Amino acid sequence: MKRTVSFMLVLGCISAVTGCKKETISTVQETTAAAISADVQNAVSKVTNFGVMVADTQLDTDGKITVTDKLGMIYVRNTVILSTYNGKAPVLDDFAAAGYKVILNLNEYAANGGARAFPTNMKEYKNQLNDFLADYQPEVAVIENEPYNDGYYTGPIENYLTQLRTAVDVCKAKGIKVADGALNLNMVLICVYQDFVNKGQQAKADDFANRSGMSGSLVRAAQGKGSADINAKLEKCKKMITAYKGMALDYVNIHWYEPMGENASKSSSNSSAPNVATDVANYLRAATGKDVLTNEFGQTTTTPSLVASQVTEFRKAGLAYAIDYSGTGNGGVNPKPLHKNVNLQPNGVSYRDAVAN
């Protein structure tokens, strides 16, 4: 009988700030490289654990396991919906039997139900978490998926932060590591740019904008000239980063698709944006004191060298985990899969070989 797995599709975009005057750019951005403590330096992972999320509705669980095996991965990403959990998660059982380690999204509701409010009844939410974690212990629990995404969630980001604090308390009591549901990459790029400027390093800010392919609208927002929409997303992002510093999170999460930049969908870049992952990870470590992972990265072209260079850049950045999204139809990002049916595409072979080396 066909066993299907519900993988959480994703996209990265949307987080927050008002105005952008230098003196109000938020306490997050006042952290300088010189202020990075030994604890933060120790948060840099010595080894990046790579994995895959085979997001293919045409494949049953056995097919997804076949693709994962061909890629040589031992880490996979999956999702459990807490509001409908009934004591059994067959796909997790199958993954465990196949020897995989799971980076698991714990979501309150399924994404196909449209945007839903963050849970606010923390007693009920805590009970749901305890019930699930009594049965399954993922390697990392990722709380919700892209909480900044207005297409997935409604309500103030403060409600998510309350939910995340509750989840951290429950998971830590059970010895399970925790990550947030991901920050908006574009908004974090703005934060990194502003951080360089705040430290009097305009030339570095300009170089970063060039390397990361920041669009004119993102640079204008970083210079305090953003649209109301981008400013609101930036404010949300900064609230999240500030809150994460005071939580017992293990990892800060960011979703990452390349090529980057304003014309990414038309780009044919053969390699990952040079040193951008390192700059982003170092900024987030300094701002939060936490290690960094991406439980979703991908490519919008099939160029084999692009995914191989992402592996190199993520290792250089010291990310703890990096899970490649192998699927199609992920919102407006339009990622390219590493596989077709159960066979690897040339970009999949490149990913397999890069991770193995």
Query: Does residue 13 lie within any of the structural domains?
Result: no
Runs of H (alpha helix) within the chain: 38-42, 61-71, 90-97, 122-133, 157-173, 185-198, 202-212, 216-222, 228-245, 276-288, 304-317, 346-356
What CATH code is carried by the domain that includes residue 333? 3.20.20.80
Query: Does residue 124 lie within any of the structural domains?
Result: yes
Query: Does residue 216 lie within any of the structural domains?
Result: yes
Query: Does residue 8 lie within any of the structural domains?
Result: no
Q: Where in the sequence is the domain holding 88, given as residue range(s)?
A: 22-356
DSSP H/E element including 106: strand 101-107
pLDDT at 230: 97
Are the C-beta atoms of 161 and 245 separated by less than 8 Å?
no
Phi, psi of 350 (to 5 degrees): -65, -40
Query: Does residue 58 lie within any of the structural domains?
Result: yes
Are the C-beta atoms of 188 and 288 separated by less than 8 Å?
no
Query: Does residue 260 lie within any of the structural domains?
Result: yes
- Number of independent structural domains in the chain: 1
Query: Does residue 4 lie within any of the structural domains?
Result: no
pLDDT at 19: 39
Mean pLDDT by 10 residues, the chain (357 residues): 37 36 37 47 82 96 98 98 97 98 97 92 98 98 97 97 98 98 97 98 97 94 97 98 98 95 61 97 98 97 97 98 90 87 98 98
CA-to-CA separations, 237 to 78, 119, 208, 303, in angstroms, rounded: 25, 20, 19, 31
pLDDT at 288: 98
pLDDT at 73: 98
pLDDT at 269: 84
pLDDT at 215: 87
Are the C-beta atoms of 269 and 200 separated by less than 8 Å?
no
pLDDT at 328: 83
Query: Does residue 202 lie within any of the structural domains?
Result: yes
